[in-house]
Amino acid sequence: MNYLSVENLSKTFGDRTILDSISFGLTQGQKVALVGVNGSGKSTLLKILTGISGPDKGEVVFRNDIVVRHLLQNPEFEAGQTVLDAVYDADDPAHKLLLDYEKALLSGSANLTEIIEKIDSAGAWDLESQAKQILGKLGLHELNQEVTNLSGGQQKRIALARVLIQKPDLLILDEPTNHLDIETIEWLESYLSLANMALILVTHDRYFLEKVTNEIIELDHGKLHYYKGDYGFFLEKKAERHESESSSIDKAKNLYRKELDWIRRQPKARGTKAKYRVDAFQDTKSKAFSGQAAQDLTLKAQASRQGKKVLEIEDLGHGFGEKSLFSGFDYVFPRKDRVGIVGANGTGKTTFIRLLLGELAPNAGEVVQGQTTKFGYYRQMELGFDDSQTIIEFAKAIAEVVEVGKGKTIPVSQFLTRFLFPPDVQYKPIGKLSGGEKRRLQLLQILIQSPNFLVLDEPTNDLDLITLNTLEAYLESFEGCLILVSHDRYFMDKLVDHLFVFDGNGDISDFPGNYTDFRQKQTEEKATAPKSEEVKKTVAKEQKEKKKLSFKEKREFDELETNIPKLEEEKAGLIEQLNKSQRDHEELMELSGKIEKITSQLDEMEMRWLELSEYL
């Protein structure tokens, strides 16, 4: 069943062609990842698909009877809108009933009984249960809060909950893992991989991409390339395509030189010049120079020399007010150390980094920096660029030349080119760049200064996969120290040797291994740990917090409490009949069968009663 058809779609901005007559389709259950370097047109295509902007030519056709929802980078909400208003679709009858039900619960409305009857009639309790599960998994419990008063990360979660609760047939997601912690990412990954929906996904998280999708659409210089396979297959076939294109371009250039010589040798007055030769010449010219813009990001910047003493932490402790984030932490950084930082939001990761950088004074202990240590700090927040400043002006204000190793330097313009800012783009105002291109420029600002101690806080957000691959290659050969805070599990696994684990209870532990090793150890410990009374209480508490009964489940619990005694009474009566009976064998067998059936029913009902009672 075809859900989406895109035919000959084109879009240009000024003299730059972003999409050049691209076509593709999407069918029921098909899950596709959309990839390409920053500025290749991913966001432009998504805006056209979602109706935010229109194409210059071509058409986008959705099947009439399907529900299409989307989540782009910066969701918008109305002033005064609560979380409850935001997550339910008031235009959908079932959602409207559940919205009214939740508001009646919060306000103690006298109409509650009437609303419950309507939900019963509509059979909408399953939807309510699913909605509560999604909200709980995304950490949304205070449904009466105004959305505009919440942080950008919380707003992203609300927008994500909204599109999932509305159960679309086709879902369009742009970087859904940004601002989510790793456990929530893993839940969303599992949810989307099992959901029976069509999906168009833009993500920098390669584990997420691998788990959720098995088809890839790449945008490259306005053209669309389709790959049916996982991310590894895509990389392999892309390399083969580039090799083939490179060979074709070399042949086209040789032919172009011959054709150019022929064109020049023709008399200007001759009107019989073969038109097909002229047309063929233009095609050859176009092909011969089609590879000019095909670049690979190559990062080579020399780290400053690092002395024996890098950074020493002694008895470090910090907190705010009565809340202690961590205490008594000691560590000495060796040269070329590679540390990942993990922990739930609010456990002190960013505070810890600020202490290391000297931006905060610790409440206890000290941080001693080596004389030659030179930090480069990539922050989560985007820099406040001067949008009128050109890229080359911005870079030259930092350095005219960049050291690339062994005493060699290159002009900053050449370094920009390696960052996928070719000469014709370097004179573009920063305000014209995409969000991902600004992030790349922010990264360039740090590396251009040749730091020997890199601190990267969520560096993968808004960067494309091609840039990430090259950044990883650069960091793998980086000669200095690295501290990495990231929810990108692939990125973390590839680059760190050990982890600082923030447990949220004031302790920082040093785990020897990457993130996958850490999760594996957690799983093994949960499977083998004996459940002491204290552990059992903790598990029970977590289960209660994890799930709250829906109205349907509460009503089921009440019915069980009424029906179990009735069945027990009926069973007792049958047993009494059996004991007193003087009937023939067949009648005795019938009574025994009834008793056995009721016993089985009671067993099931009592198990369900116990399960539900744990959450009350």
pLDDT the model gives residue 129 = 81
Please write the tens of the pLDDT for every residue from 3-38.
Answer: 999 999 999 987 788 999 999 999 999 999 999 887
User: Could you count the other beta carbons within 10 Å of the beta carbon of residue 520?
Assistant: 11
pLDDT the model gives residue 488 = 87
Angle between helices 231-265 and 275-288 (to 10 degrees): 140
Choose between 420 and 549: higher pLDDT.
420
**C-beta of residue 119 within 8 angstroms of C-beta of residue 104:** no
pLDDT the model gives residue 46 = 92
Choose between 132 and 502: higher pLDDT.
502
pLDDT the model gives residue 4 = 94
Interval 567-578 mean pLDDT: 80
pLDDT band at 443 (very low <50, low <70, confident <90, very high): confident
pLDDT the model gives residue 95 = 87
Interval 288-297 mean pLDDT: 47
Contacts 24+ apart (CB under 8 A), 75-82: 75/155, 75/156, 75/158, 75/159, 77/147, 77/148, 77/155, 77/158, 79/148, 80/146, 80/148, 81/146, 81/147, 81/148, 82/143, 82/144, 82/145, 82/146, 82/147
pLDDT band at 296 (very low <50, low <70, confident <90, very high): very low
- Return the beta strands (E) in 169-228 as ranges: 170-174, 198-202, 215-220, 223-228
CA neighbor of 476 nearest in space, from 288, 608, 299: 299
Candidate from 280-294, 303-317, 431-445 with smallest mean pLDDT: 280-294
pLDDT band at 293 (very low <50, low <70, confident <90, very high): very low
**C-beta of residue 415 within 8 angstroms of C-beta of residue 272:** no
86/80 Cα distance (integer angstroms): 10
User: In the chain, what percentage of residues exceed pLDDT 70?
Assistant: 83
pLDDT band at 292 (very low <50, low <70, confident <90, very high): very low
Choose between 529 and 464: higher pLDDT.
464
Q: What angle do CA 505, 187, 539 make, to 5 degrees?
A: 45
pLDDT the model gives residue 262 = 55
375/393 Cα distance (integer angstroms): 23
pLDDT band at 281 (very low <50, low <70, confident <90, very high): low
Name the DSSP class of 148: G
pLDDT at 345 over 80: no
Which alpha helices (DSSP H) does 266-420 contain, by range? 275-288, 349-357, 391-396, 412-418
pLDDT the model gives residue 364 = 93
79/351 Cα distance (integer angstroms): 32
Q: Which amino acid is at 119?
A: I
pLDDT the model gives residue 453 = 93
Please write the tens of the pLDDT for every residue from 246-266.
Answer: 666 666 666 656 656 655 666
Where do the domains of the chain lie?
2-83+134-231, 234-288, 311-519, 551-613
CA neighbor of 2 nearest in space, from 70, 62, 72: 62
Q: How far is CA 214 from CA 200, 228, 261, 466, 523, in A?
A: 11, 7, 48, 18, 27
Interval 408-423 mean pLDDT: 82
466/238 Cα distance (integer angstroms): 11
pLDDT the model gives residue 404 = 67
β-pair partners for 174? 202
Choose between 141 and 592: higher pLDDT.
141
Residues in CB range of 535: below 8 A, 6 or more apart: 529
pLDDT at 53 over 50: yes
pLDDT the model gives residue 605 = 81
pLDDT at 395 over 60: yes
Interval 146-155 mean pLDDT: 83
User: Could you count the other beta carbons within 10 Å of the beta carbon of residue 114?
Assistant: 11
- Provide the token pair at 483: 């501290």
Question: What's the fold here for domain 311-519?
Answer: Rossmann fold (3.40.50)
Candidate from 156-165, 429-438, 448-457, 508-517 with smallest mean pLDDT: 429-438
User: Could you count the other beta carbons within 10 Å of the beta carbon of residue 270?
Assistant: 7
User: Could you count the other beta carbons within 10 Å of the beta carbon of residue 589?
Assistant: 11
User: In the chain, what percentage of residues exceed pLDDT 90?
Assistant: 26
Name the DSSP class of 203: -
pLDDT the model gives residue 98 = 84
Q: Which helix (H) or strand (E) holds 188?
A: helix 182-194
pLDDT band at 236 (very low <50, low <70, confident <90, very high): confident
For the domain spanning 2-83+134-231, the CATH number is: 3.40.50.300
Q: What angle do CA 2, 29, 194 make, to 5 degrees?
A: 170
pLDDT at 468 over 60: yes
pLDDT band at 545 (very low <50, low <70, confident <90, very high): very low
561/613 Cα distance (integer angstroms): 10
Q: How far is CA 42 from CA 11, 12, 171, 230, 403, in A?
A: 12, 13, 15, 19, 34
477/40 Cα distance (integer angstroms): 28
pLDDT the model gives residue 616 = 58
239/232 Cα distance (integer angstroms): 11
Whether the domain at 2-83+134-231 and the domain at 311-519 fall into the same CATH topology: yes
pLDDT at 376 over 50: yes
pLDDT at 457 over 80: yes
pLDDT at 270 over 70: no
pLDDT at 338 over 70: yes
- Strand order of the β-sheet with 338-343 is 375-378, 453-457, 481-485, 338-343, 498-502, 508-511
Interval 41-69 mean pLDDT: 92
pLDDT band at 591 (very low <50, low <70, confident <90, very high): confident
β-pair partners for 19? 11
Interval 566-581 mean pLDDT: 78
Interval 578-607 mean pLDDT: 74
Interval 586-594 mean pLDDT: 74
Please write the tens of the pLDDT for every residue from 166-206.
Answer: 889 999 999 898 878 888 888 899 999 988 899 999 998 88
pLDDT at 227 over 50: yes
**Mean pLDDT of the chain, nearest integer:** 81
